[in-house]
């Protein structure tokens, strides 16, 4: 059995992950963490009335009272890095779905994981279809270098562009390199109209109620176009990847960046 802690268990993704861990026969939920929670036990929440699991408001108390193998993190960008670093320092393998990590933060936790010889995973997207979308887009960019990315999420998402969009752009750049797009004389009459720029490609972020997680990668060429799109209509779509990550990190001694590295 793999002993698991879920941080950010009251958020929509954290809640879904908590339910997945409880239902999975390979996992044992040993604690949940939220510094703002008023509950002391998970069974105080109606949908977990039959689950006797301690709710922790302090990370130090958590590591003193439970033995955890894996730390699932679905918190917010402002605290995810500190949580991940804390988990590694205390011998817990992080599986992180919170986006917003900077490149330097990813490298810093990867360095600590190597020193500790602990496995971990930081995944901008846990949906298998989203991983395939990124892989297909990277391959297509060798033949269609002109590309724009549009990512669409619910209006409570805090970071923009999404981690998935950034990861997609990084994978495309690794294949095609820098490529200037559009008319060099173009002018934005409203600032930001053309979106963010990453190595020549544009990234656009949409935030609207009713959306979950969606992304399209649009390629244009002479006389033709190619559109690669992925849609997550429900957060349950991410749980296969989260469960896979929890199992795979147990045999790793470094942090993987991107679920595709475990497939």
Catalytic machinery residues: 153, 157
Indicate the DSSP class of residue 206.
Answer: E
Please report how many Cα atoms fall inside a 13 Å half-sphere around the Cα of residue 207, on the Cβ side.
8
**Is 126 known as a binding-site position?**
yes
Sign of CA dihedral 10, 13, 19, 22: negative
Instruction: Measure the CA–CA gap between 116 and 253, rounded to whole angstroms.
Output: 8
**Is 154 known as a binding-site position?**
yes
**Is 97 known as a binding-site position?**
yes
**Is 10 known as a binding-site position?**
yes
Q: What angle do CA 84, 62, 2 make, to 5 degrees?
A: 70
Spell out where 182-257 has E strands.
Answer: 196-198, 201-207, 213-221, 224-232, 255-257
**Is 163 known as a binding-site position?**
yes
**Is 192 known as a binding-site position?**
no
**Is 220 known as a binding-site position?**
no
**Is 164 known as a binding-site position?**
yes
Q: Which residues are annotated as a binding site for (S)-2,3,4,5-tetrahydrodipicolinate?
A: 154, 163-164
Q: Which residues are annotated as a binding site for NAD(+)?
A: 8-13, 39, 97-99, 123-126
Q: Which residues are annotated as a binding site?
A: 8-13, 39-40, 97-99, 123-126, 154, 163-164
Q: Which residues are annotated as a binding site for NADP(+)?
A: 40
């Amino acid at each position: 059995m793999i002993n698991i802690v879920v941080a950010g268990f009251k958020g929509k993704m954290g809640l879904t992950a908590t339910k997945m861990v409880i239902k999975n026969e390979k996992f044992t939920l040993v604690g949940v963490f939220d510094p703002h929670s008023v509950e002391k036990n998970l069974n105080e929440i109606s949908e977990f009335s039959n689950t006797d699991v301690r709710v922790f408001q302090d990370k130090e108390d958590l590591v003193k009272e439970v033995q955890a193998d894996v730390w699932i993190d679905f918190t917010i960008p402002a605290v995810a890095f500190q949580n991940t670093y804390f988990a590694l320092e205390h011998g817990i393998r992080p599986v992180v779905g919170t986006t917003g990590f900077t490149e330097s933060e990813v490298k810093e936790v990867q360095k600590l994981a190597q020193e500790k010889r602990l496995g971990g995973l930081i995944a901008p997207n846990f949906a298998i279809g989203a991983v395939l979308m990124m892989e297909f887009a990277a391959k297509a960019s060798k033949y269609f270098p002109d590309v724009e990315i549009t990512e669409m999420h619910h209006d409570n998402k805090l970071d923009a562009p999404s981690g998935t969009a950034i990861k997609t752009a990084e994978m495309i750049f690794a294949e095609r390199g820098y490529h200037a797009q559009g008319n060099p004389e173009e002018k934005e009459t409203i600032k930001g109209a053309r979106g963010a720029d990453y190595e020549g490609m544009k990234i656009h972020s949409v935030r609207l109620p009713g959306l979950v997680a969606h992304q399209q990668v649009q390629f244009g060429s002479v006389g033709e176009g190619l559109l690669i799109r992925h849609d997550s209509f429900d957060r349950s779509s991410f749980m296969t990847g989260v469960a896979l990550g929890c199992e795979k990190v147990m045999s790793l001694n470094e942090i993987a960046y991107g679920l595709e590295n475990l497939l």
